[in-house]
Amino acid sequence: MLPGIGVFGTGEVAKVFVPLLREKDFSIKAIWGKTISDAEKAAKDLNIPFFTNKIDDVLLRKDVDLVFIICLPYLHSEISVKALGIGKHVVCDKPMGICESDALKMVRASQYYPALISLVNHSLRFLPAITHMKRHIADGMIGQIELIDIRVHIGSLLRSKFDWMCDASMGGGILNLVGSHVIDLVKFLLNGKKATRAHGLIRTYKISNANVNGIRQISAPDYCTFQLEVEGNVLVSASLFGNTVASNTFFQEIMVCGRDGHLVVRGGDLFVMKIKDESLQREEAVYVDVQDLHFSTLDSTLPKPYIKGLCKMVGALKESFSQNENAWVKEPVQAAANFEDGLYVRSVIDAICKSNECRNWCKVEISPEYTPIS
């Protein structure tokens, strides 16, 4: 039997998650908002029977067994630890907290309750083109991996009023919200290999807009470029553009270069170019995404590849709970990012931020207080 769902958050991601969950036959039992008016409006718009602005009112409901935490990042740790402590499964949005200590608390809770699901919403792992890319890398299609180059152009991450998305210290900005996906994706494609050093440059070009133009200013970065040195002598280069330095049209290219050629995902399609005869080099389609989304999330401002990844992730969750009436089965969500993956991403983001401040390469380090599961 599928678990009842409690949703923490009323923003754009909630408006995407709820229809996806219903599409997969999950029942949404309750929603939490920062204010009671936000919660009430979201409950009405999304047809959810119970709403509140008190965390415990959702967690203590007997009909809620799985919570989706897609609210303000500084609450991710508190809600996750509480939920796991009373036997609730957890799926948490990125970034995983606003600092390493937050992420560390979440990891400890997940280790203490290993019988419960504790996942991070890194949905690109489930995008079909990415799963095909990972398989071809493992099969040696392009030989030993030497370089990964990722470019993302995305529209404005800001909302119609000043909130945490405008504030870097509260988890806003392109590095936290898009860079976290990129960092996790590199580890996923390289079968768990981690970054050892990072170098980054972060900028906020637009400090005000039509809706944020008073005393408060936008501090969340809208541009970031970083390089990572990864185990196995792999170099990663990433450029993340907000709408202030690029067009509002979404563009994402993920290129993995090996000694025998390269694989590249553009949008939701996968292409390959093998090095044979240099005079005949051209890319060939390996996977073309022709699947349409048939529900209300089509109107979302979230990029379609991320929504399609979410759809696949929710489908894996359904399969995980459907295979056994008494407990969830791990295999369908084996590819998902867990809390330990989220802690690693947090440590890389911190190293990139430190590099931006000191203008030098910085070592990627996870707190010595962290004890991995053997």
CATH number at residue 231: 3.30.360.10
Domain that holds residue 92: 4-123+306-338
Which one, of 52, 84, 78, 81, lies nearest residue 66 by Cα? 84
Which one, of 155, 161, 154, 152, lies nearest residue 208 by Cα? 161
Tell whether 355 is covered by a domain. no
Residue 288 contacts by C-beta under 8 Å, 6 or more apart in sequence?
A: 269, 270
Model-level pTM greater than 0.95?
A: no
Instruction: Indicate the burial class of 61 (C-beta count within 10 angstroms; 0-12, 13-18, 19 or more).
Output: middle
Place of tokens 């609450």: 75
Structural domains of the chain, count: 2
pLDDT of 187: 97
Last residue of a domain, one of 265, 290, 315: 290
pLDDT of 299: 56
Q: Do residues 135 and 114 both lie within one domain?
A: no
pLDDT of 97: 86
Cβ pair 47, 29 in contact under 8 A:
no
Tell whether 369 is covered by a domain. no
Q: Do residues 165 and 313 both lie within one domain?
A: no
Last residue of a domain, one of 290, 319, 348: 290
Q: Which residue stretches of the chain have pLDDT < 50?
A: 279, 297-298
Q: Do residues 138 and 203 both lie within one domain?
A: yes
Q: Do residues 24 and 49 both lie within one domain?
A: yes
Judged by DSSP in three states, 337 sits in strand
pLDDT of 327: 75
